[in-house]
């Protein structure tokens, strides 16, 4: 079961990836409005086992600390995310009022598997796809054919690459090598805007075309 809650000034999607039977699951990118997210968790009876961050930008991490404090679940990010979490000039929170710093409980790398004890079919694979940020990952569930892609790729667009750790060419090659090689039917759930699929972006994303 996947639920989305859109939070904050710039409308970031926090996703719940939840086992429908036990209601155990993961919370991906709680970017802002911790009280709203916690109210949803309580209302639905979700048991959040882990908070997963696709990358360390302020609009994806802003509610993580408050939710960890309340629920006691660990925060996970790619190993290159340490710099973003610990430095407001990297996570961009310095430009947006309060400066955010936080520490993850676990730093993962490409190829790691994040398992949900109560339902192994919901295991998420860490796919490192840098370029929007150097720590950017997609969390991919092969069984459910879904990937939480953060700001790597959007419906008809790609992430910006002009902030610390960003690089346009690196982002384009990450998408080609790591996202477009997933099965065509894979549902892509981005941090902002509408969902899409691998097939749709391969065919219509203006940053790529068949003649490249
Ligand atoms: Zn971002």
Length, in residues, of the chain = 212
For residue range 97-129, what is the model confidence (pLDDT) as tens digits? 678 999 999 999 999 999 999 999 999 999 999
Q: What is the mean pLDDT of residues 126-155?
A: 98
Residue 98, pLDDT score: 74
Q: Residues of 91-130 as b/e, b for ≥16 C-beta within 10 angstroms? A: bbbeebeeebebebeebbeeebebebeebeebebbbbbbb
- Does the pLDDT of residue 211 top 60, yes or no? no
Q: How far is the CA of 109 from the centre of ligand 1 (A)?
A: 18
In a domain, 211, yes or no: no
Q: How far is the CA of 57 from the centre of ligand 1 (A)?
A: 5
Measured distance CA(2)–CA(153) in Å, rounded: 19
In a domain, 212, yes or no: no
Residue 184, pLDDT score: 97
Q: How far is the CA of 171 from the centre of ligand 1 (A)?
A: 12
Q: How far is the CA of 135 from the centre of ligand 1 (A)?
A: 10
Rg of the chain over all Cα atoms, to the nearest angstrom: 16
User: Across-strand partners of 126?
Assistant: 139
In a domain, 210, yes or no: no
Q: How far is the CA of 14 from the centre of ligand 1 (A)?
A: 13
Q: How far is the CA of 151 from the centre of ligand 1 (A)?
A: 5
- Does the pLDDT of residue 160 top 90, yes or no? yes
Residue 94, pLDDT score: 82
Q: Are 110 and 127 in contact (CB under 8 A)?
A: yes
Q: How far is the CA of 130 from the centre of ligand 1 (A)?
A: 11
Residue 85, pLDDT score: 97
In a domain, 28, yes or no: yes
- Does the pLDDT of residue 41 top 60, yes or no? yes
- Percentage of the residues of the chain whose pLDDT score is greater than 90: 91
For residue range 65-89, what is the model confidence (pLDDT) as tens digits? 999 999 999 999 999 999 999 999 9
The average confidence (pLDDT) of the chain is: 95
Measured distance CA(80)–CA(130) in Å, rounded: 10
| Residue 30 buriedness (CB in 10 A; 0-12 / 13-18 / 19+) | buried
Instruction: Look up the domain containing 24 and give its range.
Output: 2-204
CATH number for the domain spanning 88: value is 3.60.15.10
Q: How far is the CA of 61 from the centre of ligand 1 (A)?
A: 10
Residue 210, pLDDT score: 52
Q: How far is the CA of 22 from the centre of ligand 1 (A)?
A: 31
Domain count, the chain: 1
- Does the pLDDT of residue 95 top 90, yes or no? no
Q: What is the mean pLDDT of residues 182-192?
A: 98
Q: How far is the CA of 132 from the centre of ligand 1 (A)?
A: 7
Q: What is the mean pLDDT of residues 38-44?
A: 97
Angle (CA) 56-88-33 rounded to 5° is 65
In a domain, 209, yes or no: no
- Does the pLDDT of residue 174 top 70, yes or no? yes
Q: How far is the CA of 55 from the centre of ligand 1 (A)?
A: 7
In a domain, 95, yes or no: yes
- Does the pLDDT of residue 212 top 70, yes or no? no
Of residues 75, 78, 50, the one with CA closest to residue 64? 75
């Amino acid at each position: 079961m996947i639920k989305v809650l859109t939070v904050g000034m710039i409308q970031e999607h926090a996703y719940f990836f939840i086992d429908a039977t036990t209601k155990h699951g993961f919370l991906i990118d709680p970017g802002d409005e911790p009280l709203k997210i916690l109210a949803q968790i309580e209302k639905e009876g979700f048991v959040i086992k882990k908070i997963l961050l696709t990358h360390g930008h302020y609009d994806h991490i802003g509610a993580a600390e408050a939710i960890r404090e309340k629920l006691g679940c660990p925060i996970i990010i790619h190993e290159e995310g340490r710099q973003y979490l610990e430095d407001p000039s990297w996570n961009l929170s310095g430009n947006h009022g309060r400066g955010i710093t936080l520490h993850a409980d676990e730093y993962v790398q490409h190829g790691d598997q994040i398992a949900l004890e109560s339902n192994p079919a919901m295991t998420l694979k860490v796919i490192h796809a840098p370029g929007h940020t150097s720590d950017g990952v997609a969390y991919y569930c092969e069984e459910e054919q879904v990937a939480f892609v953060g700001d790597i790729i959007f419906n008809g667009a790609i992430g910006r690459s002009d902030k610390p750790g960003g690089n346009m060419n690196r982002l384009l090659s990450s998408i080609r090598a790591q996202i477009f090689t997933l099965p065509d039917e894979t549902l892509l759930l981005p941090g902002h805007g509408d969902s899409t699929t691998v097939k749709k972006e391969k065919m219509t994303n203006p940053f790529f075309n068949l003649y490249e």
